[in-house]
Amino acid sequence: MDRRSFRLFEIIDNLDKHTIREFIRSRTDKLLVPSTLGLFVWCWIQGIISMKTSALISEETLIPEGIPAPIMYFIEVLSGISILWFIQLLWVFCIVLALIRKLEKGKLYALCGKANTPVVILLAVPLFFVGFILNTPYITVYRFGFYGFGFFVGYFLFSQETVIDRLRKYRFVFLPVSIALGIVYTCMYYGQNYADSFAHIEVINSIPAVAFAWAAVLAIFACSREWFDKETAFTRFMVKKNFGVYMFHYVGISGAALFLYSYPSIPLAVRYIIVLAAGLATGFALPEIISRIPVIRFLVMGIRKPKKAVAEKAAEKQN
């Protein structure tokens, strides 16, 4: 597999090539700064969209009138966290990983590389149970146990090519099983709100949900190793653009969906096309603009001024 195509391999390369302090600094720049300080720069826009969408769905005004503008701004900022919850969790896991790596000194990583396929399959059992721990109330996306388990299994297990090679041999087992489990899960929970604070555990952490999720993960790794283990012009392009697409695609999707709400006569298929086009447009265009604006590019995308440019500027001052 093209290692650069996966954010996980970027983390591995950073740990291998830099000190722990350098690694923490780079992850803080790339993950924590955009998902905290960056919120105050542009996420209030997403916050407005999200609040308007929630008001339409609930058919009532969720925020009372008369709130002072500064307080309203902070409400909009917090409402605009949206998909950035994921890199907030990712930063926490990276810091914990740095501490673990400092203590285990590669021994745990080497041990995990020996895991055979039955052991990998059975990891679905602890995955099910960790889904019930370290979940934040009300804001249900912050599932530290579930996503933390996935992150560390990904680092210590699935980043190793020997493990993926073993899975590849069973691709014609994992693929049909995952499809079958996906059909079962869909039939059982179709139409239910997985984001509901009371129903989400049943919908996304039930045995059918975890079984399907784990089987799909194994199928994706096994099949990708066999059929997509190559680098193309498209993958090289997407490696450069994937973080920007992640950061900005949702504002286009949610904004377009909110706009289309006022035009119920538009066919559903056309709506999907418009929303997809809007997400791609903002996902590719906004990073190109923001990455060229000093200070803002650091706050929103974690892009520091290149060291070469800093050195050249210092040399100019000396001359």
> Which pLDDT score, from 0 to 100, does residue 31 have?
94
> Which pLDDT score, from 0 to 100, does residue 3 have?
46
> Which pLDDT score, from 0 to 100, does residue 61 have?
59
Residue pLDDT, tens place only, 198-209 = 556 678 888 999
Helices (H), the chain: 7-17, 20-27, 33-36, 44-58, 69-79, 85-104, 107-112, 117-122, 124-130, 144-153, 161-168, 171-189, 200-204, 207-227, 233-260, 268-290, 296-301, 307-318
| pTM of the entire predicted model | 0.84
Q: How far apart are CA 246 and CA 279, in angstroms?
A: 10
Report yes or no: 289 and 295 within 8 Å, Cβ to Cβ: no
> Which pLDDT score, from 0 to 100, does residue 88 have?
94
Q: Which residues of the chain have pLDDT under 50?
A: 1-5, 310-311, 314, 319
Buried b (16+ CB within 10 A) or exposed e, 127-139: bbebbeeebeeee
> Which pLDDT score, from 0 to 100, does residue 192 have?
82
Choose among 91, 87, 79: nearest CA to 46.
79
Residue 156 vs residues 105, 128, 151, 256: alpha-carbon distances, Å = 12, 19, 9, 40
Q: How far apart are CA 232 and CA 18, in angstroms?
A: 28
Length, in residues, of the chain: 319
With a pLDDT cut of 90, the percent of the chain lying above it is 58
Q: How far apart are CA 2 and CA 236, in angstroms?
A: 9
